[in-house]
Each structure stands twice: as structure tokens, then as C-alpha cells.
Chains A and B, each alone.
Chain A
């Protein structure tokens, strides 16, 4: 409950920061949008459209209530309502993030547990070094490498761009999802892997595992029932944190593959100085992060056997 309150408070402050950053920083938004084409009449009209002629608190209030009622105003780039513009992108990105998260978590936990069980064996060494190398790579480097390898220079198996016909969603053409998902999975798995490996090694060396072994519990039961659940708890937090990386990572990856999600939307909006769209997408991403933080805290709490007993 306390976490929830803190989360909501953080979000309120986030919204104020976003609002202040975009609305108040030097050179007001109307001027930024019109650029050199600004003349007093057009500037004035746009200021009225953006409510820039009102007081600061009024402006914030209009914008905040718009967030909840869906009346976010129109995109400055093409006049479409912001919500209509962002909604299909939001759905596409959600599909991308959920598919990536599920595959990434399974692969990461599996590899991490396997490496911990063969600590210092060849599998452990190979996976650990690979993980270290891959954590250092920017998303677009992974993405471009996959494109070079799988869709242009070496092989021609997969489409290099994930263009969707207007009005269709990501799931209608799963083949277009493969490369973006693969890129993001490669980016997040090393973190989950490293955490799972570290936590699993700690768990396997703990007193309760020792105890279980001495009692004569079969080894597979020791691993699956005694060690694994305790190792997964901290890993869940890292998986949660990885959704934050995903929130940032989708921006670049969607741009690389021309995937019509909110990340690509954000890049376009920043390029066009389309302030209302930028504001909305940034708040959505921040809200998503705060939510994920709370959810992963709660799940980690529920998943830790020791803490359940204490309660």
C-alpha cells in the first residue's frame, strides 16, 4: 500500500516535470513548433490552441485532466487527435514488450540456473563471457547486426523492416515481429541471466539447501523446490527492471525496423517538435515503469518463501 502511494506520488511529480520541461523551458512551445515560419498572428493562434495564454497552473490542470479524459488535443504535426494517433502504436508496442518479456525471462532464468548448476564448467564460462559482451552492446548494434546477418548481406530469410499496413496490428503478421523481438531478447537476457546465476549460486550454497541434501532429499528436488524459488525472487526484480530497459529499448529498435509502436512515434514526434505527442508518450512510458516497479516488488515479495512465512 505504501508502495502504491509512493508510486502515485512519483507519477504526479513526473507529470509536473514533463509538463514544466516541455511547456516552460526557454522559447515557448509555440515558437519551437513554428520555428522560422513564426509570425505574430500564427504565434498567437497557436498559443491559444496550446492554452499558452493561460496561467501556468491552469495550463497544467488542463493538460492533466486531458490525460485522464483522453482529450489530449491534436498533434501539431498533422492535426490528428493525440489519442487516436498513439493508441494503435501503444497496442503494437505492448505486444512487442510482452512477447519479448516472456521469452526473455524464460531464456534468462533457464540459462542462469543451468550455468549456476555447472558453476565454473565450460557452459558457465561460455555463457558468462557472452553475457558480459552482449550487455555492453547498444540495441541498434544488435539490430543492425541481425539485419546484416539474416535479412540483407549474408542471408535473406527475414524482412529487414516491419512495416505494417495501416489499420492492422502486430499480431496479424508474426513474421514481422521476429527480428524486433529477437533483438530485444538478446539485449535483456544477459541481465536476467547474470542475476539468476548469481542468486542461484547463493541459494545452492545456503544452509537450507545443505540441510535438504543432508536429509537425503533427491538432488532434482533440492534444485527445483529448495533452491530455484529462492533464487527467482531477486531475479524477478531484475526482470521488472528490464522492462525499464525495454521502455527505452523499444525506441531505438522500433525506429530501426520501422515498427509502428510508441517508440517510433516518439522519435518522429521529437523530430517534428510535436510537443503534445511527446508529452503523452513520455508520461505513458514513465507510468509503465512505475507500475512495473510496484508489480515486481509485490511479486518478489510473494515469491520469497521466507517472507511469506514471516507474514
Chain B
């Protein structure tokens, strides 16, 4: 499955052996060494670093009203102040971790649910397959953001609800990709051997099929993480994520955009951080996909081409 990773010069022999045992690790390492992967990883890493250590190094309290509203940057307040006169610098440093945590949780939930559904659908076939894929069709009919908004409209902006809704709305896409990958794997000899040995279906799915899906699952996880960040930040921007006075990059953008002509930094900095983060995760995922699966395009795109242009040599 995984294309033999290019040999990485300069690593010790024991490390080489360890990587040969873990093709996933060597693929991630090889991806990080491509120009694209390096750029993606350092962008995302830098933003994550800001979000994680930010709350500990913030110079002021993020909630304290300290100066005039929309004050321009000054020595004491390097990024100026926001619509209530709070220190933008401190709020930026404090406003990322919750967003990241929620996006990561939603991604994990979506990947686990989607992989379970996709593998079961492909391996069990028949009625389970039909039932799972019809459920997938129904969830797919809701735009992801709208799905979350629907639930928020009933239960209010609860953070666990948003994580659940976003995770659940990822599951169908993951299930589709994993299903088609599993269909291919379940025809392989080692699966047939396990079946003949009388291994139970659940065991086959977890110990024979799942390990071979690590690369496509990682690509999916990267894609879904990017989308999770986009949706989470969007919900906060719309006012349905963390509630004021919490500092949150999405919320900050909306709160401070009326003051764009006065202190644009209160908007530009959170916008730039979100943009760099999503560009970073997406670019690294792209680099990983090229190394691990050897494709030049997204799984959903190649699935479409396969379906519509059969017989075209590749």
C-alpha cells in the first residue's frame, strides 16, 4: 500500500529499522522533508505553539478593560485595544487553545465514527452496507455548518454539542473514502487466509484491515482537521461558539470588525493566525498524501475520476 518511502540519508541504522516497521512514521518524516511539507508543518506548528503557550505568556489579563476602545498599537499594548478597550495582544495569545482543542476532538470523533462505518459497510456488505451508506447520504445532504447550526438552534451554543455535531458531519466523507479503500483490501489474500482460519469478522476488521488503512486515514484526518478548524472558527465568528467575554480568534474578528478603520490589528492578527493554521495543516496533509499514497490529488477527486473515467491508464 504505502509506496516505499525514499531512503532518508543521515539516520542511524536503528532508526532506519524502526521506520521500516512503521511505514506511517517514515512517510510522515519523508513528507516533512519535502519543501511543501516543511512549509506546512512549520506554519501549523508555529500557530499551535502560539495557541498553547500563549495563555501563559500573555502580558495582561485578556478580560481587563485597560484603555480606550480601538486604541492604536503602542508600547504598552503592541497590537492596540479592542472594542471594549481590552489588550488585543493578550486576547490573541489566549484565544487559540479552545478552538484548537475543539477542532482536534471533532476530528478524532469524525475519523473514528467514519472509519468504523466505512470498514463495516465494505466488509459486511449486503444490508449493513446499504443501511450505512443511506445514512451517509442523509447526513451529507446537510452542509456541515448548517448541521451544527440546526443543533445549536435547539440546544443553544454548548461547546460539547458543537464538537459532536462537527465530528458527526465529518463521518460520512470519511466513511466513503474508507469504504472504497476497504473494498479493495478485503479481496487480498491475507484477508482470505484469516477468513479461512475462522477469524471472527470483528477481529478481521480491526487486526487485518485497519492497519492497512493507516495512510488513507491519516490523509483524511489532516483534511478533516483543516475543515474542523474552518467550521469551528466560523461558528465562533457567527457568535455560536465560545460566548463573550471569552477570547476566541473567530469571535474577536466579528467583535472588532466595526473598528477596522481605527485599529485594524484587532482583526488582521486573528484572521492571519487562522489562515496560516489552516494553510499549514492543509499543505502538510497534501505533502503527506503525495508521499504515502503517491497521488497528486485528493482521495475524493481520484474516486470521482475512477468512477467516471474507467479504463483511463494512470
Q: Which residues of A contact B (CB under 8 A)?
A: 6, 10-11, 13-14, 17-18, 21-22, 25-27, 29, 32, 132-133, 135-141, 144-145, 147-148, 152-153, 160, 194-195, 198-199, 202-203, 205-207, 230, 233-234, 237-238, 244-245, 247-248, 251-252, 255, 266-267, 269-271, 273-275, 278, 282, 285-286, 289-290, 300, 304
Contacts and interface: CB of A to CB of B under 8 A. Distances in A.
Which DSSP category, helix, strand, loop or mixed, fits chain A's interface?
helix
Given A152-B261, A275-B154, A255 B238 contact: yes
A195 B301 contact: yes
Contacts of B230: 136-138
Which DSSP category, helix, strand, loop or mixed, fits chain B's interface?
helix
A153 B314 CA distance: 49
B92 interface: no
B148 to A, nearest CB: 10
Interface stretch (B48-56, B71-79, B206-214, B277-285): B277-285
B229 to A, nearest CB: 8
A285 B150 CA distance: 12
B190 interface: no
Contacts of B195: none
B45 to A, nearest CB: 15
Interface residues of B, number: 56
Interface string B252-279: 0100010011001001100100110011
A19 to B, nearest CB: 11
B139 to A, nearest CB: 9
B149 interface: yes
Nearest to B306: A234
A132 B286 contact: yes
B279 A138 contact: no
A26 B154 CA distance: 9
B108 interface: no
Nearest to B283: A132
Contact of A234 (B261, B282, B305): B305
Interface of B: 134, 137-138, 140-146, 149-156, 226, 229-230, 233-234, 237-240, 250, 253, 257, 260-261, 264, 267-268, 271, 274-275, 278-279, 281-283, 286, 296-298, 301-302, 304-305, 308-309, 312-314
For the complex of A and B, 7 pairs with smallest distance between CB atoms? A248-B143, A136-B282, A136-B278, A138-B230, A270-B153, A152-B260, A286-B141
A29 B286 CA distance: 44
A82 to B, nearest CB: 14
B141 A137 contact: no
A255 B146 CA distance: 13
A194 B233 CA distance: 25
Contacts of A137: 230, 275, 278-279
16 contacts: A13-B134, A13-B138, A25-B154, A132-B282, A136-B279, A138-B237, A160-B260, A202-B309, A234-B309, A255-B238, A270-B153, A278-B149, A278-B150, A285-B143, A289-B140, A289-B143
B274 A285 contact: no
Nearest to A24: B154
Contact of B282 (A18, A135, A145): A135
Contact of A282 (B146, B226, B239, B281): B146
B309 A230 contact: yes
Given A153-B261, A270-B152, A252 B279 contact: no
Contacts of A6: 137
A237 B309 CA distance: 13
Contact of B150 (A21, A29, A238): A21
A204 to B, nearest CB: 11
B234 A275 contact: no
A287 B124 CA distance: 31
